[in-house]
Every structure is written in structure tokens, then in C-alpha cells.
Structure 1
Amino acid sequence: MPKMKTRKAVSGKVRLTGTGKLKHARCGRRKLMSGKSPKRKRQLRRPAFIEGGLESVFKQLMCCH
């Protein structure tokens, strides 16, 4: 059976942490920042983690079983 190809769109946006969690950047920080409160902008700087059933799907797309 041939090797599975890594989905480059996913691998560019998601990182695998040392404990096996999938970390990604939050959306909403590219434009229209002047209308957002400082608290909201500060919270958007923190990374988000993929949890639940989607985690196994993303790991399969990244070929990191």
C-alpha cells in the first residue's frame, strides 16, 4: 500500500504539541482590529486546540497516527 500524503493545507495551519494535542491560531486577527476591544484582541493572541472528534480527523490528514 502506498504512503499517505500529508494535506499541506492542514499541516501549515496546525502544529502537533509534545503531548499529542493539535494547536492552531485563532481566526479574526487579520483585519478590522480597531473595532475589537483590547480584551478580545488579547484573547485572540492565545492559541486554540482542536478537541473531540475532529482531533482524530486532523491527525489522519497530517499522517501522524
Structure 2
Amino acid sequence: MPKLKTSKAAAKRFKVTGTGKLKRMKAGKQHILTKKSQKTKRNLRKATMMDPSNEKNMKKILPYL
């Protein structure tokens, strides 16, 4: 069976935790930050886990992570 290619775009955006879950950063922290409150910007800094409904598809495009 041939080797599977890793999606490089996804590999740069997700990390795998010790338990095998996918960790991602939140969107909305790049620009137009003046209208966002300090609390919102602070909460956007934290990483979060990927939703389990998407996890199966992500594992397919990230076979070796």
C-alpha cells in the first residue's frame, strides 16, 4: 500500500495532544481588533480542542500526526 500524504496546511494548524485529541487556535485574532473587547481578545489567545464531529475527517488528512 502506498504512503499517505499529510495535508501540510492542516499540519501547520493542528497539534495532537498526549491523549490523541487535536488542539487548535481560535479564529478572529488577526486584524480588526480595536472593536473587540479586551476580554474577547484574551479568550482568543487560548488554544481549544477540535470538535469530535470533525476529528475523524482531520485524522484522515493527518495520518502521521
Q: Assess same fold via TM > 0.5.
A: yes
Pairs within 5 Å for 1:7-22: 7-22=7-22
Report the number of matched residues: 65
In structure 2, the residue matched to 1:55 is 55
> Any stretches of 5+ residues in structure 2 without a counterpart?
none
Runs of 4+ in 1 over 3 A off after TM superposition: none
Task: Say whether 1:42 aligns with 2:42.
Answer: yes
Letter in 2 for 1:32: I
C-alpha separation between the residues in 2 aligned to 1:52 and 1:27? 18
- Secondary structure of the structure 2 residue equivalent to 1:23: strand
Per-residue deviation, 1:64: 3.9
> Any stretches of 5+ residues in structure 1 without a counterpart?
none
Pairs within 5 Å for 1:18-29: 18-29=18-29
Per-residue deviation, 1:45: 0.5
C-alpha separation between the residues in 2 aligned to 1:52 and 1:15? 15
Q: Please give the root-mean-square deviation of Cα atoms over the aligned residues, in Å.
A: 1.4
Percent identical among aligned pairs is 37
C-alpha separation between the residues in 1 aligned to 2:56 and 2:38? 34
